[in-house]
Amino acid sequence: MRIVVLDGHTLNPGDNPWDDLAALGALTVHDRTAPDQVMARAAGAEVLLTNKTLLDAATLARLPELRFIAVLATGYNVVDVDAARARGVPVANVPEYGTGDVAQHAIALLLELSQRTGAHARAVAAGEWARAPDFSFWLAPPRSLDGVTLGLVGYGRIARRVAAIARALGMRVLAASPSRRGDPDGWRDVPALFDESDAVSLHCPLTAANARFVDAALLARMRPGAVLINTARGGLIDEPALAAALRDGPLAAAALDVLAQEPPPADHPLVGLPNCVITPHIAWASLAARRRLMAATVANVAAFVAGAPVNVVNGG
């Protein structure tokens, strides 16, 4: 069986070997694949692995030998799953490997917006504390999270872990989710959640139906001084609208680990805004999480080889 990895560098930059996957077939690993290289590299593969390399309907139609796609992530919007279903090609993701890591990062971003730890450390390094007349120096006073309302869009594994940490900090937790499974302090629809929350954190998958749903109208509903956090997918946010809301209000700040285009162009409207913290899509990337992702991906491919695929997102 020929197995091809289209973009393996982020999963294994040298510390997370492919040996167990190689035991399942003839393996070729590409660190990165440009759009114009996809067809040449995927041709003849029975199993394709992708993280962020796009596999659209036109590409899938030209791969007659393809039998299985494994996505090296939880989100699978890079694959046209309907086109794959029509071809009889199952697509499997890894639904859980970094729950704690992503929740940790979401809370770290919330704390950064509340405490401005990085900005204060840089100010001290620049000598501003040494020049201050008082024993305590701040660029802006820290913001207590005790009693603050956190709104979570989506209430899956990661959001529930975020909720548990937030409650430990004394926060009130609201959630918006079609399933309404779990136990937040209150359920809201999305507009009401944006109305009532002091901080909103996104934890939903990106679909055609919710692309750029965080738009100017929704942002305008937020309380003055509210903050927005996104560790899900950049395409959930209308980024020019967010930039305007950060410049002109009502938002006080935003903290993002994901953008619609990654890496961003040099003129991205959010990059460089003083009240927008951006990290380079690293919430998922601890070695422990990547090892879990590798093991789960191997298990997905092994299950397909055994004739009983698991974690299939385009069944039915």
What is residue 316's predicted lDDT score, i.e. its pLDDT?
A: 64
281 is catalytic: yes
* Burial of 34 (C-beta count, 10 Å sphere; 0-12/13-18/19+): exposed
Walk me through the domains of the chain, giving residue ranges and CATH numbers.
2-97+286-305 (3.40.50.720), 99-278 (3.40.50.720)
What digits encode the pLDDT tens for the residues 274-299? 999 999 999 999 999 999 999 999 99
What is residue 16's predicted lDDT score, i.e. its pLDDT?
A: 98
State the amino acid at position 190 in one-letter form. Answer: V
71: confidence class by pLDDT, cuts 50, 70, 90: very high
Q: Which of 262, 268, 291, 292 is catalytic?
A: 262
What digits encode the pLDDT tens for the residues 12-46? 999 999 999 999 999 999 999 999 999 999 999 99
What is residue 25's predicted lDDT score, i.e. its pLDDT?
A: 97
What is residue 315's predicted lDDT score, i.e. its pLDDT?
A: 87
Token couple for 206: 């990106």
Q: Please list the helix, strand and coil fractions of the chain in percent, rounded to the nearest 5, in that order.
A: 35, 15, 50
Q: Is residue 242 scored above 80 in pLDDT?
A: yes
3-state secondary structure of 106: helix
Q: Is residue 231 scored above 70 in pLDDT?
A: yes
Distances (CA, A) of 26 to 23, 68, 129, 202: 8, 15, 60, 39
268 is catalytic: no
Give the mean model confidence (pLDDT) for residues 131-156. Answer: 96
49: confidence class by pLDDT, cuts 50, 70, 90: very high
Residue 208 carries which DSSP code? T
- Give the DSSP H or E segment for 227: strand 227-230
Distances (CA, A) of 268 to 109, 113, 250, 262, 313: 20, 21, 21, 11, 32
What is residue 233's predicted lDDT score, i.e. its pLDDT?
A: 95
The CB-side HSE value for 166 (13 A sphere, CA atoms) comes to 30
Q: Which of 172, 233, 239, 290 is catalytic?
A: 233
Q: For helices 157-168 and 99-115, what crossing angle results, to 10°?
A: 40
Q: How far apart are CA 72 and CA 8, in angstroms?
A: 9
pTM (predicted TM-score): 0.91
What digits encode the pLDDT tens for the residues 171-218? 999 999 999 999 999 999 999 999 999 999 999 999 989 999 999 999
Q: Is residue 240 scored above 90 in pLDDT?
A: yes
Q: How far apart are CA 228 and CA 184, in angstroms?
A: 19
Kindly tell me the number of DSSP H helices and DSSP E strands found in the chain: 11, 12
105 is catalytic: no
Q: Which of 105, 160, 161, 281 is catalytic?
A: 281
Q: Note whether 313 and 92 are within 8 A (CB).
A: yes
Q: Note whether 313 and 75 are within 8 A (CB).
A: no
Q: How far apart are CA 66 and CA 10, in angstroms?
A: 24
* Rg of the chain in Å (alpha carbons): 21
Q: Note whether 76 and 315 are within 8 A (CB).
A: no
What is residue 8's predicted lDDT score, i.e. its pLDDT?
A: 98
Q: Note whether 257 and 105 are within 8 A (CB).
A: yes
